[in-house]
Amino acid sequence: MRSHTGTGEVWNHSKEYVQDVPGNIFHSIFRDKGNKGRGDDCLQMMAGEDAILKRKEIKTPDRTFLLLLTERNLGAQYPGMILYSLRILSGDAEIALFRTNTYEYPPSSPIHALGVVQAKADEWERELLSNPPECKTSYESRGIGTSGEARTPDVLILQGSPRPAGNCSVMAGWARDAAAHAGKTAEVIYLDDLMIRACIGCYQCYNTGTCIFGDDMAGIIRALSAARVVIVCTPVYTNTVPGSLKVVFDRCQAYHAHQVLNGHSPGKKGLLFSVAGRKGGENFSCITKVVDAFMENIQIRPSGRVLIDDLDRTGDIRNFPGIELQIRNAVERVV
Ligand SMILES: Cc1cc2nc3c(=O)[nH]c(=O)nc-3n(C[C@H](O)[C@H](O)[C@H](O)COP(=O)(O)O)c2cc1C
């Protein structure tokens, strides 16, 4: 995947899905989506959500291209965020796309989003006239996420404890069994097994709906987008979630961006199962807020909790038989 170049240059899909056509500056971005009826439909669709800043026909000996620059106000998500999209359309096909947004450029930056996208429009126009592309490439959208196994369970269980036989692992197993008993597919993801980088706050996901990092998070997002129920099993660590789970929550910003750009898919339900070593309900006051914030950020409706305090040793939870039933009931209520 192409990383940030410092000039706002970022493509909306991983380069690995686009063939190179050497000798042309468009080589990494030209593609044919194969979407029929895109041309004017595309314009109408964009006119609905995006304001058209520039629309220019560019005639080459071969054919006529349309260079289209639009802006979308994402201020409802982030104050002052504007997403610029520059497209080259040829008949029904969208053959190139460049995006950048205002959050990529700090106030001290000598360049800014509108300037960058306008310069790119000028560059593309010059290049179309001097060296029009002849080659279309095949393009296949794989939706959100770019790597990792395709997981699409009905019930996704995020297990945040690093202890493989700890209390949260036990709870996750009970939850998976309950989902299976109800006829649903369920998968437990042990976050400590994965390699996931922390979010760096580049905001490039608001250009693309995907993260610039192609690590194990892609598989989690794919599973999250498919699941109807998301269960978080987590211990309380320093009053909040363990670091690996917090990294996942933060990296879900790319999924949030995907929803902003492509529409939400409401109807998901979320459960929280948590354990704390100390005694008292107040030990969960922070973690419940953190988990609710994660769920609300990606349109998951918090739909139940089981919180168990005064539990420290690995697997202690098995000594409290009533808890297994609480967990099974909570899962059966939402699946
Ligand atoms: C690094 C660390 C931080 C912890 N912080 C808290 C805490 O702030 N409050 C608390 O009640 N328990 C805390 N605990 C205790 C765990 O929540 C408790 O041992 C829990 O049962 C572990 O769950 P597990 O068996 O699923 O790993 C902490 C444990 C560790 C290892």
Q: Tell me the pLDDT tens digit for each residue of 175-218.
A: 999 999 999 999 999 999 999 999 999 999 999 999 999 999 99
Mean of pLDDT values over 233-243: 98
Considering the domain boundaries, does residue 148 fall inside one?
A: no
Mean of pLDDT values over 14-30: 31
Tell me the residue range of the domain where 62 lies: 15-130
Distance 237 CA to ligand 1 centre (A): 5
- Asked if 43 contacts 140 with a C-beta cutoff of 8 angstroms, the reply is no
What's the number of domains the chain is made of? Answer: 2
Clarify whether residues 79 and 186 are in a common domain: no
167: its two tokens: 């209390």
Considering the domain boundaries, does residue 1 fall inside one?
A: no
Nearest to 151 by CA among 93, 242, 226: 226
Looking at ligand 1, which atom is closest to the CA of residue 283? 11
18: its two tokens: 């686009």
Q: Which of 96, 130, 164 is the last residue of a domain?
A: 130
- Residue having the nearest C-alpha atom to atom 28 of ligand 1: 237
- pLDDT at residue number 134: 59
Higher pLDDT, 4 or 160: 160
The preferred substitution site among 236, 282, 310 for testing ligand 1, maximizing ligand atoms within 8 Å of CB, is: 236
Looking at ligand 1, which atom is closest to the CA of residue 233? 26
- Asked if 212 contacts 259 with a C-beta cutoff of 8 angstroms, the reply is no
The CA-atom distances, in angstroms, between 287 and each of 106, 137, 217, 272 are 32, 48, 22, 10
Clarify whether residues 117 and 170 are in a common domain: no
pLDDT digits (tens, 9 = 90+) for 75-129: 988 999 999 999 999 888 888 888 999 999 988 888 999 999 999 999 999 988 8
Task: Give the H/E segment covering residue 158.
Answer: strand 155-159
Clarify whether residues 85 and 191 are in a common domain: no
Nearest to 146 by CA among 90, 98, 216, 77: 216
Considering the domain boundaries, does residue 7 fall inside one?
A: no
Clarify whether residues 297 and 233 are in a common domain: yes
> CATH number of the domain that 243 lies in?
3.40.50.360
Considering the domain boundaries, does residue 143 fall inside one?
A: no
Clarify whether residues 82 and 180 are in a common domain: no
Whether pLDDT at 41 is above 70: no
Clarify whether residues 253 and 313 are in a common domain: yes
Distance 324 CA to ligand 1 centre (A): 20
DSSP 237: B
Considering the domain boundaries, does residue 5 fall inside one?
A: no
Alpha-carbon torsion, ordered 284, 290, 291, 297, to 10 deg: 160
Considering the domain boundaries, does residue 202 fall inside one?
A: yes
Whether pLDDT at 5 is above 60: no
Clarify whether residues 174 and 119 are in a common domain: no
- pLDDT at residue number 261: 92
Q: Which of 66, 97, 130 is the last residue of a domain?
A: 130
- Residue having the nearest C-alpha atom to atom 12 of ligand 1: 277
Distance 306 CA to ligand 1 centre (A): 16
Considering the domain boundaries, does residue 141 fall inside one?
A: no
Mean of pLDDT values over 46-55: 78
Task: Give the H/E segment covering residue 271.
Answer: strand 268-275
pLDDT digits (tens, 9 = 90+) for 283-332: 999 999 999 999 999 999 999 999 999 999 988 999 988 999 999 999 99
Q: Which of 130, 164, 185 is the last residue of a domain?
A: 130
Clarify whether residues 164 and 209 are in a common domain: yes
Clarify whether residues 114 and 190 are in a common domain: no
Place of tokens 């639009």: 70
Distance 312 CA to ligand 1 centre (A): 7
Considering the domain boundaries, does residue 236 fall inside one?
A: yes
Whether pLDDT at 4 is above 50: no
Whether this prediction's pTM lies above 0.95 is answered by no
Clarify whether residues 114 and 166 are in a common domain: no
- Residue having the nearest C-alpha atom to atom 3 of ligand 1: 237
- pLDDT at residue number 125: 92
Q: Give the chain's mean pLDDT.
A: 82
Looking at ligand 1, which atom is closest to the CA of residue 171? 26
Give percent above pLDDT 90 in the chain.
67
- pLDDT at residue number 144: 45
The preferred substitution site among 238, 286, 308, 319 for testing ligand 1, maximizing ligand atoms within 8 Å of CB, is: 238
Clarify whether residues 83 and 172 are in a common domain: no
Clarify whether residues 167 and 209 are in a common domain: yes
Lining residues, ligand 1, CB within 6 Å: 161, 163, 166-168, 235-239, 275-278, 283, 311-312, 314
